[in-house]
Amino acid sequence: MSDLQVSLLIIGLVVVGGVVAFNWLQQWRLRRRLEHAFGDKHEDVLLRDDAPHDRTRRTDPHQPGADRVEPTLGVPAAAAPVEYVPQEEHLVLAATLPPVPGFDPMIDFIVSVDASEPVSAAGLAELHTKASVCGRRFRVAGYSFAAREWEEAARLSGGRYAHLKLALQLVNRKGPVDLGALTTFCAAAQECAERFSASASFPGIEEGLTAARDLDAFCSEVDIAIGVNIVAPEGRFSGPRIRSLAESAGLKLEADGVFHYRDDAQQTLFTLDNHEPAPFLPEQIGRLNTAGITLLLDVPRVGDGEAALAHMLAVGVELAQGLGGSLVDDNRVPLSDNSVRAIQQQLRAIQAKMEAHGIPAGSERALRLFS
């Protein structure tokens, strides 16, 4: 080997050694900065057999009697997170959570969305926007691990939820939900699940549509209102006189242009309306006059229908006497004892039919369906 080759070899070794030394120095300096910033180096607690840390204990279903120990983050109790639950816990809880208050499988199409980590209520804004396109009443509820209960997952509720329930009401007085509304609602739920890497479970759409049609058909059978009229034999009734007598009988004129008689729970038992098309608007009733007025009892929405009917008829007698009018039925035939008994029998039959179908008159279920 010549002197030149030896010299080149020595220079190469020196260069390589310098590079290695420089890299080691850089790593050492980096390690020192990290230790200074985050404290002394700690052992990996997951690799220690005797490390004292919190555990969640659960029986392994594949090994009866054996316990599987899962490590969790060791944080002080005062600072423990209240919303985060490990993914496996979410999967277990999804099947065991209580029903959502107000979600009714008989009249609601209910969708479940389960995520591996909580989703903020603000992140659900797009879900609300897209679901509202269906044009039907819907609700979104989220399970709060902090409160251990379901709560409304509104856009600005501020909550975080790994489990969501969405409910679309199948029927109201506008009719049953249609295919377009139902598929729009389901698409909104599915898109939300995909956005947050969650799973969504749906009832069958065809089954939902069939249930909606059947329920609407039943509701149509019992959607009855009982009305009696007070008509002026001659002349017309003045608006101020009607208002004075109605308010004396406990009715109150409301923004919809109708007098309402409400119970202690503020539920309307019966109403008083103009027999003619013009409503009793507060700003116009002082100048209004009419040939007749109508008392109306909305049968499906009143719990104790017989008591409400009796009180409505008594108010009708008072108004007829005070106005100098006649109390008649829809055919303008004066009410007799026989006609009142026929009305009572019809009322009892309707409410018994609703009770047998699981929709008691005046119940929350009935109030939602007949709205």
pTM for this prediction: 0.72
Question: Cβ neighbours of residue 275 under 8 Å, at least 6 residues apart?
Answer: 229, 231, 290, 291, 292, 293, 294
- pLDDT value at residue 235: 86
Q: Which helix (H) or strand (E) holds 366?
A: helix 364-369
Q: What is the pLDDT of residues 242-269, one digit of tens each?
A: 999 999 999 999 999 999 999 999 999 9
CA-to-CA distance for 123 and 160, rounded, in angstroms? 9
Q: What is the pLDDT of residues 8-64, one digit of tens each?
A: 667 767 666 665 665 555 555 544 543 443 344 434 333 344 433 333 333 333 344
- pLDDT value at residue 67: 39
Q: Which helix (H) or strand (E) holds 93?
A: helix 87-94
Write the DSSP symbol of residue 196.
T
- pLDDT value at residue 30: 43
- pLDDT value at residue 234: 84
- In order of their start, the domains of the chain are 92-218 (3.30.1400), 223-369 (3.30.1400.10)
Give the residue among 179, 186, 285, 290 at the shortest CA–CA distance from 229: 290
Q: Which mean pLDDT values do the consecutive 10-residue runs of the chain (371 residues) have? A: 67 66 55 43 39 36 38 36 44 76 97 92 91 94 91 86 96 97 96 94 95 98 97 93 98 96 96 95 94 98 97 98 95 92 96 98 97 95
With vertex at residue 33, the alpha carbon angle to CA 27 and CA 36, rounded to the nearest 5 degrees, is 140
- pLDDT value at residue 156: 78
